[in-house]
Amino acid sequence: MDMKYEVTVEFHRDFVRVDGSKIVVGLTSKPERGKANRELVKKLAKHFKVSSSQVRIVLGLKSRRKIEVLFG
């Protein structure tokens, strides 16, 4: 079953907070050349104990507000 989450990122922090279908993630990577998005995918995959290939950003690649889908 696929799960869809609204994700908000905060920079210069390191955390993952889940509140229902909303997730706030602290990132330490700079938002340049996709580094922050890659860190976000890895953190969510680790948090949900799935492979990084099972996490996709489907909306908001260049925004602090994103929609993520976990394929399961």
Number of domains in the chain: 1
pLDDT digits (tens, 9 = 90+) for 10-45: 999 999 999 988 999 999 999 999 999 999 999 999
Average pLDDT, the chain: 92
In a 10 Å sphere around its CB, with 0-12 CB exposed, 13-18 middle and 19+ buried, how is residue 19 labelled? exposed
The pTM (predicted TM-score) of the whole model is 0.91
CATH number at residue 32: 3.30.1200.10
Range of the domain at 41: 3-70
Q: List Cα–Cα distances, 45 to 14, 49, in angstroms.
A: 15, 6
The residue whose two tokens read 């700079």 is: 30
In this prediction, residue 3 carries a pLDDT of: 86
**11 three-state secondary structure:** strand
**37 three-state secondary structure:** helix
